[in-house]
Structure formats: C-alpha cells, structure tokens
C-alpha cells in the first residue's frame, strides 16, 4: 500500500492565459474573463489549469502537470570495474486552489490550495560501487 505524505510544494511556472476580451458594448460592471485556460511550464512539469472567477474577489482553479524522463544508461569505468547507472523521473501532479483577488479589477491573486503529488524517481546501478 502506498502511503501519502503531505508536503509543501514551491512551484515556479510560466503561464500563458488564453481568453477572449469582452466586447465594448457590454456593461462595465461585468468581468471580461470569468473563465480562464492557462498553459504552464515549470518545475512541476508541463500542463495547464482551468480557472473560474466566480466573485469579484474569489475564484477557483484546477489542473494537471506531467513530465516523464528516462536517462540512457551511463557507464563509469575505473581500474577495478565498470558501473552502469540509469534513472527515471515521473512527474505528475494535480493542483486545486482557491484564489483570492485583493483588487476587484486586477488579475493579481493570492492562492491557497492542495496539490495531489504523484511524483516518482527511480534509479538503478549495476556493478561494484565503493564508497570511502
């Protein structure tokens, strides 16, 4: 059985927002972007989020990030033996956040939420390894 341990995650992302601007004829009180779709590239992988700003100062977002990478086998030779190393990184996470917008007409937000972390790192070495 796999145990789940809560961890604090600091993620750095580059976000590209996609949306359509409201027409000039709409009422000025209406928010032009109540729903947002974001493509993201960052330390948690490649992915995206969908957000909904349901109030002037509140919104929610959910999404998914994914990246898989496998190294080729690396061989290190010394006088005694040859050691082969390989590794696999699997990043998958799903963030769910509550966004607080301090200013009514700004897209600046403070987010609090949870990240379902399914990241894995596996490695393998074959050969004699001597540690001093």
Residue-level pLDDT, tens digit, the chain, 132 residues: 444 444 545 555 555 555 444 444 455 555 556 888 989 888 888 999 999 999 989 999 999 999 998 888 777 777 667 778 888 989 999 999 999 999 988 888 899 999 899 989 898 878 766 666
In this predicted structure, what is the pLDDT of residue 61? 95
pLDDT of residue 24: 47
Task: Give residue for tokens 């000025």.
Answer: 28
pLDDT at site 22: 43
CA dihedral for 57, 58, 64, 65, sign (positive or negative) = positive
Q: What is the pTM of this model?
A: 0.61
Q: Note the pLDDT of residue 34.
A: 83
Q: Which residues contact 102 (CB under 8 A, 6 or more apart)?
A: 57, 108, 110
Return the structure tokens found at 79: 């006088």
pLDDT of the residue at 63: 95
């Amino acid at each position: 059985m796999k145990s789940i341990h809560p961890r604090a995650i600091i993620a750095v992302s580059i976000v590209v927002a996609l949306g359509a601007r409201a027409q000039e004829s709409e009422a000025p009180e209406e928010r032009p972007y109540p729903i947002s779709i974001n493509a993201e590239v960052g330390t948690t992988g490649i992915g995206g989020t969908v957000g909904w700003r349901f109030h002037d100062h509140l919104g929610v977002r959910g999404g998914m990030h994914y990246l898989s990478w496998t190294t080729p086998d690396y061989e290190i030779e010394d006088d005694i033996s040859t050691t082969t190393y390989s590794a696999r990184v699997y990043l998958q996470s799903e963030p769910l956040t509550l966004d607080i917008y301090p200013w009514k007409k700004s897209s600046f937000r403070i987010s609090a939420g949870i990240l379902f972390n399914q990241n894995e790192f596996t490695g393998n070495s074959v050969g004699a390894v001597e540690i001093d």
